[in-house]
Amino acid sequence: MQDVNLLAKHYLLASDFDQTLSFNDSGIVLSELIGVAGFPETIQGLSRTHMVQQGGELAYLLRHDPQFRCVRREHLIEAGKHIRLKNNIRLLFDLLQQIEGHRFSFYVVSAAPQEVIQSALEGIIPVHHIYGSRFQYHPETGEIQSIVNVTAGYGKVATLDRLRESLSISRDRIVYVGDGSSDVHVMLHVNRLDGLTIAVSENKYLTQIARRTVLSDDALAVLVPILEEIVGWNSARIHAFFESHGFVLQEWDKVRTDMLTIVRAPAPTGDHFASADESILS
């Protein structure tokens, strides 16, 4: 068994957290917990200015917005307990170790605060497999004193590169899973390295970049493009793999969606034709 593992191709599977492994954003859960109203509008407003990296808005607000000054480490831990997770994250982590000839190291790389993710995934994903945004707290008041690192936008690229190097994984053996605009930079980066990018939402920016899109309430769904694209299994073998672990792929619709907006072209004016005729004649 050990020989097989040594010979196995080693891959890094990095996943976003908010709305990729969960159903709701950490920021919304936290703002409800501390009674801050209008959080989605605040985020949208901040996002439109492009002052902070896409996805890093919560980290910015936690440090700079007076409404969030009351937040302590305990609030972040409590918010984590209120997050609704997708099904079977633990099983995904385990099954990734059981694919013949391949070894996948699963890590969470997310802009959500480290404490929120750790708390939400307690007993599911080991702490040292979680890379979230980190803060420094005042030793006496417990107030957020500074931002140590924000794993959003380009911050995800830097974290992923460091992680890949520390695990000695080759550049093309990366899989990245994400749902939103915070994942655009890292997906472009992974594509450039010939890795596999998987979108788990219909975000229009992301689905144009990601090599595969898979929509499901179950975290195990990302295994489908991994088994197809990396392991090279056909659908019969994938069905058999899921069945051997007690699951049935009840609805597996492969849909390629062409999204179009069609508008009427401006009517040609008489002048336009006149000038064209003139140029032909001259």
| Binding interface with Mg ion (CB under 5 A) | 16, 18-19, 179-180
Q: How far apart are CA 145 and CA 161, in angstroms?
A: 27
Q: Which residue is nearest to Mg ion (CB)?
A: 18
Minimum CB separation of residue 133 from Mg ion in Å reads 12
Minimum CB separation of residue 26 from Mg ion in Å reads 9
Minimum CB separation of residue 4 from Mg ion in Å reads 35
Which residues partner with 136 through β-bridges?
146
Of 99 and 199, nearer to Mg ion (C-beta) is: 199
Of 23 and 137, nearer to Mg ion (C-beta) is: 23
Of 23 and 273, nearer to Mg ion (C-beta) is: 23
Residue reference for tokens 């390295």: 193
* Contact indicator for 119, 129 with CB cutoff of 8 Å: no
Question: Considering only CA atoms, which of 223, 182, 188, 218 is closest in space to residue 203?
Answer: 182
Q: How far apart are CA 195 and CA 214, in angstroms?
A: 17
- The token pair at 32 is 């409800």
Minimum CB separation of residue 16 from Mg ion in Å reads 4
Q: How far apart are CA 223 and CA 242, in angstroms?
A: 9
Q: How far apart are CA 114 and CA 135, in angstroms?
A: 9
Of 36 and 108, nearer to Mg ion (C-beta) is: 108
Of 152 and 220, nearer to Mg ion (C-beta) is: 152
Of 76 and 231, nearer to Mg ion (C-beta) is: 76
- The token pair at 259 is 């999204």
Task: Give the other-Cβ count within 10 Å of 172's Cβ.
Answer: 11
Q: What are phi and psi of 112, to 5 degrees?
A: -65, 150
Q: How far apart are CA 124 and CA 81, in angstroms?
A: 13
Minimum CB separation of residue 183 from Mg ion in Å reads 7
Q: What are phi and psi of 221, to 5 degrees?
A: -60, -30
Task: Give the other-Cβ count within 10 Å of 13's Cβ.
Answer: 23
Minimum CB separation of residue 232 from Mg ion in Å reads 29
Residue reference for tokens 């229009």: 204
Minimum CB separation of residue 225 from Mg ion in Å reads 18
Of 99 and 209, nearer to Mg ion (C-beta) is: 209
